[in-house]
Chain A
Amino acid sequence: MKKRVLSATMTSLVALAMLIAGCSSTSTTQAPAEQPKTETPAPATEPAKTGPKQLIVGRGADTKGLDPITQTDGETFKVTENVMDTLIGFADGSTELAPSLAEKWEVTPDGLVYTLKLRSGVKFHDGTDFNAEAVKYNFERWSDKSHPQHSPEGFEYYVSQFGGYKGDATHIIKSVEAVDPTTVKFTLNRPLAPFLANLAMSPFAIGSPEALKKDVKKFNEHPIGTGPFKFVEWKRNDTITLEKNPDYWNPGYPKLDKLVFKVIPENTARLTALASGEIDLMDGLNTDDIPAVKDNKDLQLFLRPTNNIGYIGFNVEKKPLDNPKVREAIAYAINKPEIVTAFFDGVGEPAVNPMPKTMWGHNNDIKDREFNLDKAKQLLAEAGHPNGFKIKFWAMPVPRPYMPEGVKIAEAIQQDLKKIGVDAEIVTMEWATYLEKTRLGEQEMFMLGWTGDNGDPDNFLAVLLDKNNIGSNNYTRWANEEAHQLMMKAQSTPDQAEREKMYKQVQEIIFKDVPMVPLAHSTPALAGKANIIDYNPHPKGSESLEKVDFK
């Protein structure tokens, strides 16, 4: 009995060993024999010259969902902007407004009625017509909580840009009317200066009402818009494939036949994939790798125009940071130019205000504090801390375009603070926890940043420092009544010159009271194959790739 079991086992083991050996030898011997036959017509390393024009874009993370109104995540918009159009667009590479689905628009002098003239003859990917009714349908879906296609989780961006939902006292949009098939009229409850810029934001792209009515859940997996590319397939955590929309309203575009977004989480591996020809374009290039890209003649470097701010914030509710003198002292002890040179590898510049220098309304008259430890010490003494104090300094655990190396930057600042007697203990934690705890105000001194959505100063100043946003994005918990009044007034003033004045004033107040030390505005780096043409990275962090082509 025992013998039989043993011999059976033995035989099966030998068989297993042979099978294993067999598997490996067949895979190595058979494959090369097949290789020449299949590989010659379409080499894997470069796009076939005669075949369809494909662009493979490598990026760090997958899209969360493809119904843009339900998302706040940049990785989502990178895809949806190619599938769905907004009413108003942005000019290439800038935040200047440009026609998109609306060809032109008019605003009444009181800033309450916006009339948009829509493009005619435009069709959604499912063949249905784009018209004023479709626009009205989309806005009703977003604004009306009782609408059948409204999401129970709400639409975060709609609330933040348009002040809530239908029926809320703060809701901005009073009505949306389809005057005729190509005219849509928005009436507002109160003027909202950034209204048109808001319409141009990616979450407010117009989807096919028929598709939404059919299955709103499916829409999140398979979006249908009017954009240059049609959705084809989504392999989660791997690829999203789009194909050319032959009926796109912008004649001559898109140039590509196929567009694939591929997830490669590791920055270095992504660059390897680019260098070996598996992908054509990548974002999230490590600043350390910029020289390698410049030296490689097969590659080219792209810089995204700056539209962000990385800052050192103070929780003004915590002692001793509640004292503006203490905050100012720390501001004097941060060596901005040195940090930017050391950590941003030539793709960032020191910041003076919480908004980028390229944006209208930036106050160029404010002269930044120079790095001055004596002045810092003097201010600390005046504030009653001649021997300094101990403080916890929260450092970002993940790299972001506005803060490439959080912990190392924190260590550099820690060294300077030591010289003025401030003993900063660096604290770091997992990213989601970091965001949660800073939102709740558990931090003392911390670092964070922001990337703008729509090219309006309101999107930086009010978001980061208005008292209404404490508990949301105002992590400093700074509540300054004067600044608040100015920001609210600026929000509802239609005249841009007037607004500019108010925002400049706000920046002065911020500079004087120092709820944060703006550290740097960075220019995120991307890399692509040398033969890519007409790629224009947009400052808001994502763009339609309709014009991109190969040489």
Chain B
Amino acid sequence: MALLAYSIRRILMLIPVLVGMSIIVFSIIRAIPGDPALTILGEKATPQAIADIREALGLNNPWYIQYFDYMKDILSGNLGESLQTNAPISDEIMPYLAATTELTIVSMLIAVFIGVNAGILSAWKQNSWFDYCAMLIALVGVSMPIFWLGLMEQWVFAQELKWLPSVGRDDSRNPVEAITHFYILDTMMAGRWDQLWEVIKHLILPGIALGTIPMAIIARITRSSMLEVMRADYVRTARAKGLTQFWVVYKHALKNAMIPVLTVIGLQTGLLLGGAVLTETIFGWPGVGRYIVTAIGNRDYPVIQSGILVIATIFVLINLLVDLLYAYIDPRIKYR
């Protein structure tokens, strides 16, 4: 019951957060210099055409009227139309979101699997060579410029070794037919195992590039959290009972050590969803980060607003999920 009340309270708290977010996004965009009309029309625009388009898009209205119109649409499920393509953003954003989600999931799988295990082993073998090496790699991983890492991956694994493709989501000579826009699902639904293998191959290099930073962070957090837990009384008790080290670590210590790790996983997943622009650019990945950045270059106000709002909403929802998961794991949390 307490958990239910807590959940409802947390969900209701989302409303002011989302409204606040929409106001901030809306105002920041208005503060960017430059005229959207000119950017739509391009370098070869005439002043008359620019004036016409400003009028047609309502850019001459006061900002609060523009905001009010915008919110009215959002609440009725209409994210607006892109100025560039004239297409509804709610339709247009789906393939991009799917592409980014697929990449984020793969990156996080890589990051969690390697990060958690490296962290555990480092804690287990504290001050060993493995520990030193893993933490050094984690340090390098956190500070590695994604841009450089991505180009190096492409150069080594695509150009020189020819093991993996360097760009895109699928093989353009044998393209995937999009149904849900999640290509792994789409290829499985169509029974195209050859394409599925291509899609997985295309995910590996960008997945590693994008997963490197969270992997390093997760490894470090897991290690320190494990070290703390392993000093706890109940672990000592477990050891005293004569359990093997493996059993102590993976069965008794890990679940308690996972709470801070879970926070990091939640935060990083949210970050990756919106912040994968560099990876998406280098790997020609048609994701939502590039969608929004392209829109910024084009001064496509509706896309910038709605795109950021969608990403921010997902971010907030992931955090909500993590919070609720805590409350479930550790019942003390919801009384705080």
Residues of A within 8 A of B (CB): 2, 5-6, 9-10, 13-14, 17, 20-21, 23-24, 27, 31, 34-35, 37-39, 42, 44-45, 47-48, 54, 56, 61-62, 64-65, 72-73, 152-154, 156-157, 159-160, 217, 220-221, 233, 235-239, 241, 260, 262-266, 268-270, 272-273, 275-279, 430-433, 435-437, 439, 463, 471-473
Contacts of B86 in A (CB 8 A): 65, 217, 220
Q: Lowest 6 A-B CB distances belong to which pairs?
A: A38-B194, A264-B284, A72-B42, A238-B286, A237-B286, A433-B34
Chain B, interface SS category: helix
Contact pick for B44, options A14, A270, A275, A473, CB 8 Å = A473
Determine if B113 is an interface residue (Cβ-Cβ < 8 Å): yes
Is B41 a contact of A276 with CB atoms below 8 Å? no
Determine if B92 is an interface residue (Cβ-Cβ < 8 Å): yes
Contacts of A61 in B (CB 8 A): 294
Contacts of A236 in B (CB 8 A): 85, 92, 95-96, 286
Given contacts A34-B194, A35-B197, A276-B159, 19 further A-B contacts (CB under 8 A): A2-B331, A10-B251, A14-B250, A34-B193, A38-B194, A72-B41, A221-B85, A221-B87, A235-B178, A237-B96, A238-B286, A264-B168, A269-B150, A269-B151, A273-B167, A276-B165, A432-B297, A436-B33, A472-B47
For the complex, what is the distance from the CA of A266 to the CA of B206, rounded to whole Å?
14
Q: Taking A24-B113, A44-B174, A436-B38 as contacts, is the C-beta distance between A31 and B166 under 8 angstroms?
A: no
Q: Taking A20-B112, A260-B172 as contacts, is the C-beta distance between A237 and B290 under 8 angstroms?
A: yes
Is A436 a contact of B34 with CB atoms below 8 Å? yes
For the complex, what is the distance from the CA of A2 to the CA of B172, rounded to whole Å?
54
Q: Taking A14-B250, A44-B171 as contacts, is the C-beta distance between A473 and B43 under 8 angstroms?
A: yes
Is B172 a contact of A264 with CB atoms below 8 Å? no
For the complex, what is the distance from the CA of A473 to the CA of B32, rounded to whole Å?
22
Is A262 a contact of B194 with CB atoms below 8 Å? no
- Binary contact readout B58-100 vs A (1 if CB under 8 angstroms, 0 otherwise): 0000000000000000000000000011110000100110000
For the complex, what is the distance from the CA of A222 to the CA of B106, rounded to whole Å?
33
Interface stretch, picked from B48-56, B225-233, B268-276, is B48-56
Can you identify 24 A-B contacts, CB atoms within 8 angstroms?
A14-B250, A20-B112, A20-B113, A34-B193, A34-B194, A44-B173, A64-B298, A72-B42, A153-B53, A154-B53, A159-B49, A160-B44, A160-B46, A260-B172, A260-B175, A262-B167, A265-B284, A266-B281, A269-B282, A269-B284, A272-B154, A432-B39, A437-B33, A471-B47
Contacts of B110 in A (CB 8 A): 24
Is B46 a contact of A237 with CB atoms below 8 Å? no
Contacts of A233 in B (CB 8 A): 175
Contacts of A217 in B (CB 8 A): 86
Q: Taking A20-B113, A269-B166 as contacts, is the C-beta distance between A153 and B52 under 8 angstroms?
A: yes
For the complex, what is the distance from the CA of A277 to the CA of B172, rounded to whole Å?
11
Contacts of A45 in B (CB 8 A): 162
For the complex, what is the distance from the CA of A64 to the CA of B171, rounded to whole Å?
23
Is B166 a contact of A152 with CB atoms below 8 Å? no
B85 to chain A, nearest CB (A): 6
Contacts of B53 in A (CB 8 A): 153-154
B2 to chain A, nearest CB (A): 12
Q: Taking A13-B254, A269-B284 as contacts, is the C-beta distance between A472 and B46 under 8 angstroms?
A: yes
